[in-house]
Amino acid sequence: MNRQQLLLGLFVGLLVGMNLLGGKITTLFGVSVSVSIFMMPLSFLITDIVAEVYGRDAAKAFVHIGLITLLIILAFTIVFTHLPPHPRYPYNEAYVTVFGSSIRILFASCIAFFISQLHDIWAFEFWRNKTQGRWLWLRNNLSTGVSQAIDTLLFMLIAFYQTTPKFDVAFILQLAIPFYLFKLGFALLDTPFVYLGVYYLTKNKLHQSSS
């Protein structure tokens, strides 16, 4: 297994994890956030690393594979929550409560993920050309910052708009802004790992070309 394949496995694993586990809400510094906030910035980190070392097309391949994976999980979730339970299985109500409510969330996640990740790859390449390949930290944070905003707004609007009368656009924006700021903070903190990841892949790429 090469290092690019390892990153692809981690990328898909993160997508699956944050969509299956992200329904839980916790509190950070008095703000209600999904637990997926700890995993989501890592997905943008990986595609930026791949785009830097292997190019835009390789990063897009990651996104397309991730989207296919999410759509397959969405389809299975719909089927499994509607299958009748065996009489010996006593937890069907809890199962449907946990996973049935995630169908709209999974659908929202697929759309927000795909659009925001494609924007991230485009923006990363745009700033790479503007900076002539310099200032990796700046390119990473500029592309991720806007992409995280797109992801947050699209996801929350699709997932929660009018789930109750309270969830109008103004209320969703009120929830989305602090959530986005937390994600932006985590994205800024992972900047050193962008350099580590690029070094990790570049070293392997040079080794393969010399062997």
pLDDT in tens, 42-68: 999 999 999 999 999 999 999 999 999
How many CA atoms does the CB half-sphere of 75 hold within 13 Å? Answer: 6
Q: How far is Cα 199 from Cα 103, in angstroms, rounded to an integer?
A: 39
**pLDDT tens digits for range 1-36:** 588 899 999 999 999 998 888 878 888 888 778 888
Confidence of residue 98 (pLDDT cuts 50, 70, 90): confident
More confident: 33 or 140: 140
The structure's pTM equals: 0.88
Give the range with max mean pLDDT: 17-26, 78-87, 177-186: 78-87
Q: Mean pLDDT over residues 71-95, rounded? A: 92
Name the burial class of residue 158, with classes exposed (0-12), middle (13-18) and buried (19+) by CB atoms within 10 angstroms of its CB: middle
Domains of the chain plus CATH, in order, are 3-210 (1.10.1760)
Q: In the structure, what pLDDT confidence band is assigned to residue 124 with cuts at 50, 70 and 90?
A: very high
Does 128 have pLDDT greater than 60? yes
Higher pLDDT, residue 100 or 154: 154
Model pLDDT, residue 164: 83
Residue 142: pLDDT band (50, 70, 90) is: very high
Cα(203)–Cα(36) distance, rounded to whole angstroms? 31
Mean pLDDT along residues 170-191: 88
